[in-house]
């Protein structure tokens, strides 16, 4: 089995954090890392104790939801709240940061930004990153990084597809279904 890379490991953390988002427009997660250790994480959502967009809808002004705090900001604020310095750290974020978050990232002292998805990449943000000497790297991330298929699983899927294509007999299909149930015992798959 092949080990997941550090970049994909930390990007996976950001994608998991994004699943906590309360924003209905875009789920974003951010992870701050120093020396291969996670020091903070954040997702986009309302202030602590505030009304959430998933409950009452977005509060949009000039095309932007003003109810949510962005994931990058939440991660940096978490460090500030608990007295954890971010100088020289790295940030992994699911989407390219907005202009405001880009400037906050620069001012916080983060030295490297990894992002998985392009999202309205503002040319001035890119210019400011370059002027600040902040390294920006695109790290494409797909769900298979969270749940990679083993060779046996891949082969089983190919066999099942082939059986369906050629109209295999019911005994062959039943045998493949039994193998699926063995590989995925917690799956809700039903015959």
pLDDT band at residue 29 using 50, 70 and 90 as cut-offs: very high
Please pick, among 72, 87, 90, 151, the residue that the annotation labels catalytic: 72
Per-residue confidence (pLDDT) for residue 125, from 0 to 100: 96
Give the residue, 188 or 162, on which the prediction is more confident. 162
Question: Structural domains in the chain?
Answer: 6-145 (3.40.140.10), 148-183 (no CATH)
Per-residue confidence (pLDDT) for residue 183, from 0 to 100: 63
Per-residue confidence (pLDDT) for residue 149, from 0 to 100: 52
Tokens read off for 92: 């992994």
**CA–CA dist 139, 94 (Å, integer):** 9
Tell me what the mean pLDDT of segment 91-115 comes to.
97
Tell me what the mean pLDDT of segment 127-135 comes to.
97
Per-residue confidence (pLDDT) for residue 166, from 0 to 100: 74
Judged by phi (left if over 0) then psi (alpha if -120 to 50, else beta), residue 119 lies in beta
**Residue 72 bears catalytic tag:** yes
- Choose among 43, 67, 69: nearest CA to 55: 67
Question: What predicted TM-score, i.e. pTM, was given to this entire model?
Answer: 0.75
**CA–CA dist 119, 129 (Å, integer):** 16
Tokens read off for 174: 């039943």
Residue written as tokens 């602590």? Answer: 48
Q: According to the 3-state scheme, what is the secondary structure of 24-88?
A: CCCCCEEEEEECCEEEEEEECECCCCCCCHHHHCCCEECCEECCCECHHHHHHHHHHHHCCCCCC
Per-residue confidence (pLDDT) for residue 191, from 0 to 100: 32
């Amino acid at each position: 089995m092949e080990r997941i890379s550090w970049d994909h490991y930390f990007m996976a953390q950001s994608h998991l954090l994004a699943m906590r988002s309360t924003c209905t427009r875009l789920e974003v997660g951010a992870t701050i890392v120093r020396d291969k250790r996670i020091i903070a994480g954040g997702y986009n959502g309302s202030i602590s104790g505030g009304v959430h967009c998933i409950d009452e809808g977005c509060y949009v002004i000039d095309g932007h939801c003003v109810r949510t705090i962005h994931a990058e900001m939440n991660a940096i604020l978490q460090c500030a709240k608990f007295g954890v310095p971010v100088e020289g750290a790295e940030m992994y974020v699911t989407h390219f940061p907005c202009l405001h978050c880009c400037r906050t990232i620069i001012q916080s002292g983060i030295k490297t930004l990894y992002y998985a998805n392009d999202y309205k990449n503002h040319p001035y943000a890119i210019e400011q990153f370059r002027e600040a000497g902040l390294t920006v790297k695109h790290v494409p991330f797909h769900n298979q990084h969270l749940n990679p298929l083993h060779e046996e699983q891949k082969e089983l899927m190919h066999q099942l597809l082939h059986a369906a294509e050629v109209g295999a007999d019911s005994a062959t299909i039943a045998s493949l279904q039994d193998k699926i149930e063995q590989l995925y015992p917690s799956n809700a798959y039903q015959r």
